[in-house]
Amino acid sequence: MMYAAGQTKIHCPCCRNDTFDKDYRQLNSRGATFFGLDWVNRNATILVCKRCTYIAWFMDDLKELE
């Protein structure tokens, strides 16, 4: 799938590919984890390049392109 951040189409910085697998990861902090409050941590959107497997992290959700 292809994605855009705002009006900018995303390309892999390593191989210039434009297709990715999308997933989400939780941004854990030591303090919240220590107190068992992982649910209060923010999530990040990650894109994994389908060609070279480079992982790009984004704080906002991305727009899917056709």
Q: What share of the chain is helix, strand, coil (3-state, %, to 5)?
A: 10, 40, 45
pLDDT at 27: 73
Q: Domain count for the chain, please give it.
A: 1
pLDDT in tens, the chain (66 residues): 999 999 999 999 999 999 999 999 877 666 655 566 655 556 899 999 999 999 999 998 899 998
Q: β-strands 55-58, 43-49: how paired?
A: antiparallel
CATH number at residue 55: 2.20.25
Question: Where in the sequence is the domain holding 61, given as residue range(s)?
Answer: 2-65
